Amino acid sequence: IAGKEKELLELCGRDNRLDLTENIQNFIQFGINLNAKDDGGRNALHLMCQNYSSPKLTDVIQLLIENKTDVNAKDNDGLNAIHFLCRYHSSQNLIKAIQILIRFGIDAKATTNDGSNALHYLCRYNASQNLNDAIKIFTKLGLDLMTEDNDGWDALFYLRNKDKKEMNIWFDRDAILGQGGFGTVSQGKFGGREVAVKRVELRHVDKREEDAMLKLEHPNIVQLLHFEKDNDFMYYALELCVASLDQLFLKSDNPKKYDGRMPRQIVVFSQLASGLEHIHSKKLIHRDINPKNILIMKSPGKIEEIILKWSDFGLAKSVNEKGLHSWSGVK
C-alpha cells in the first residue's frame, strides 16, 4: 500500500468519535486510491463500518461512496460493508447507515465465505436498541430469518442463543452417528480434535451416566473429554470411534457393516475384561453388556492399533461396600 493509502486505512481502522469528514476529504484531494485494502482485504469503507462510532458515520460513508469507493467490495472472508456494519455497529446510526448503503446499491443479500448474511450478523452479534427495525429492513428486502449458514444455523437460532456463553464443543448437525429417544450423537470437534458429541435435552440428562463416566478413565472405556451445557442441552465430547461391535456381524451387503481390521479374539476378550475390571474397581456395574455398547476405535499414529471400548453407561449403578445395589429398573 502506498504511503497515503496506508495512512487513510490506519485512520479508518481506529475507533474514533471525532468528525473525520475533513480528514478524509484531505486524503481525497491527494487523489489516492480509496479502494486500497489492508492485509485482511478491508478498504476504508469496511474499516469505517467496523470502527467509527461518531454520529458522523453516515456522512463519512456517503463521502467515500460518492468518491468512487466500491460499495460492494469484499474482504478476504467475503464480508462487504453491510456485514461489518451489522457485526460491529450498535449505535443510533445503525438504521440510517444501513439505508445509505442500500441506497448506494450495496448487495444487502450478499453472503460471506461461511454462508452468513446480514441477518446472521445482526442476530448473532448486534446489541443495538434498533435491532428489530434493522431486521425488518432486511426481511422486507427478501432475506429469510430461516436461511441457514454453512454451519447449518439460521438467524433465529443466533438470536435465541446470543446471550449464551461461547461453547467449546462444536458438532455437525448433518453428521449423525446415532440417535436415541432423548438425544443424538454427532461428529464434532473439541479443542481441535475430532470427537463424538452427545447432545441431550437438559430435562433428560441422566446424572447416573454422567457420574459414572467422570469416575472412569481407562484405555478400554470411552473417555469423556469435556462436557458443557447451554439453556436447552447438555453436550458431551467423547472419544470418536469408527463402529460398534454389532456392526461386525451385519450382512456383507449392509452399508453399516464394519469390515475393518480386528485384533485376535484373545486380545478382544482381554481388552474387554480389562475395561470391566476397571468399572468394577470403581464400584460400578454396567448392566447393559451387549455388542452395541462396545465400540471399535483406531488409535492415531503410524501403527494403527484397534482398541475395544465400553460405552453407554445410562444403566450403570454404583454398589455399596458389600457389593450390593438396588434392583429398580432393568433386571
* Start-end of H helices in 162-295: 207-215, 265-281
pLDDT at 228 over 90: no
- Least confident piece of the model among 80-89, 90-99, 282-291, 318-327: 318-327
- Please tell me whether residues 153 and 204 are part of one structural domain: no
- Please tell me whether residues 239 and 299 are part of one structural domain: yes
Helices and strands per DSSP (H, E), number in the chain: 11, 10
Position 17 scores a pLDDT of: 65
Give the predicted TM-score (pTM) of the model.
0.52
Are 330 and 315 spatial neighbours (Cβ–Cβ below 8 Å)? yes
Choose, from 163, 206, 288, 312, the residue flagged as catalytic.
Answer: 288
Query: pLDDT per residue over 148-193, tens digit each?
Result: 998 888 998 888 776 555 678 888 888 888 877 678 899 999 887 8
Whether 230 is a known active-site residue: answer no
% of residues, the chain, pLDDT over 70:
90
Q: Which residue has the cell 485384533?
A: 263
> What band does 321 get if pLDDT is binned at 50, 70 and 90?
very low
**Is there a binding annotation on residue 198?**
yes
Q: Which three cell numbers stand for residue 304?
A: 494403527
- Please tell me whether residues 126 and 229 are part of one structural domain: no
Average pLDDT, the chain: 85
pLDDT at 286 over 90: no
- Please tell me whether residues 132 and 181 are part of one structural domain: no
pLDDT at 329 over 60: no
Total number of domains in the chain: 2
Q: Is residue 275 part of a domain?
A: yes
> What band does 318 get if pLDDT is binned at 50, 70 and 90?
low
Q: What is the CATH number of the domain that holds 150?
A: 1.25.40.20
- Least confident piece of the model among 4-18, 45-59, 111-125, 139-153: 4-18
Q: State the number of CA atoms in the 13 A half-sphere of 22 facing the CB.
A: 2
CA dihedral defined by 20, 23, 27, 29, rounded to 10 degrees?
110
Q: State the number of CA atoms in the 13 A half-sphere of 248 facing the CB.
A: 19
Q: Which three cell numbers stand for residue 45?
A: 469503507
Select from 102, 134, 161 the last residue of a domain.
161
Give bridge partners of residue 200 from the DSSP assignment: 183, 234
pLDDT at 325 over 70: no
Domain range holding 48? 3-161
Position 322 scores a pLDDT of: 45
